[in-house]
Structure 1
Amino acid sequence: MADVKTHTGSCRCGAVAYEVDTDLEGLIECNCSHCYRKGLVLNFVSPEAFRMTADGPQTEYLFNNHKIRHLFCDTCGVQSFARGAGPHGPMVAVNIRTLTDIEPFSWIAQRVDGRSF
């Protein structure tokens, strides 16, 4: 098991920025119509492990069963994270492609067949 570290992330323009405490384990790459088109790679964390450092204007997008609030920056359109209800309670789904302190493609994600759900 990897060590939990504090990582920083943001949208492209920086209007939305955050810190997250995670070990970057259990990453998923989903093929549902939403995640696949956006190229999201997700890491699910508890709300307590996620802190906003710049809370710029965001627009909410809901689809399917409306359990996850997909939020994207009003300026640059990047989805840095989503908030919602996971199988074990409230969660934040962090798009690890928006982490600014890790090397691109230094991670491994499990592919999940969300298209079939």
Structure 2
Amino acid sequence: MKTYKGSCHCQAVIFEINADFPELTTCDCSICKRKNALMVKVHENEMRILSGEESLTTYQFHTHTAKHYFCKVCGIYPFHRKRVTPDYFGVNVYCLDDFDPAGIPVRATDGVGMK
């Protein structure tokens, strides 16, 4: 596994993950469809918020299980705690420094169908 640093747009929130990127995911639920993020699934032990935790705000809807995190300053979504596997984060790979998702398989998840 390799370590990647990431941040929101204004860099108020800086984090790092350890990941090997076997696949990336998209989701068609009502929020993911609108934010159009490309995500990698990372266990909570493989993610660290380095600075700016106080700049994060959360948004929850439907079952109020998943926690979607946004920067209070710039509004960017860097990651969320997953609903079905709450010990994992879905990390927005577009927030990772110098990361190119080209060539990594993308799996579409059925968020609309989750009940």
> TM-score w.r.t. structure 2 length?
0.87
Gapped regions of structure 1 (runs ≥ 5): none
Give the deviation of 1:40 after TM superposition. Answer: 1.4
Percent pairwise identity: 33
What corresponds to 2:66 in structure 1? 68
Q: Which amino acid aligns with 2:26?
A: E
What corresponds to 1:18 in structure 2? 15
C-alpha distance in 2 between matches for 1:39 and 1:106: 19
SS at match of 1:34: helix
Gapped regions of structure 2 (runs ≥ 5): none
| Aligned residue runs from structure 1 range 16-95, under 5 A | 16-55=13-52, 56-84=54-82, 86-87=84-85, 90-95=87-92
Q: Which amino acid aligns with 1:66?
A: H
Q: Which amino acid aligns with 1:72?
A: F
Give the deviation of 1:60 after TM superposition. Answer: 0.8
C-alpha distance in 2 between matches for 1:53 and 1:59: 16
Cα distance, 1:31–1:85 mapped onto 2, change above 3 Å: closer
Kept in 1, the 8 Å contact 2:23–2:104? The answer is: no
Moved over 3 A (4+): 84-87, 104-108
Tell me the C-alpha RMSD between the 2 structures: 1.7
C-alpha distance in 2 between matches for 1:92 and 1:66: 15
Kept in 2, the 8 Å contact 1:14–1:54? The answer is: no
SS at match of 2:81: strand
Give the deviation of 1:65 after TM superposition. Answer: 1.1
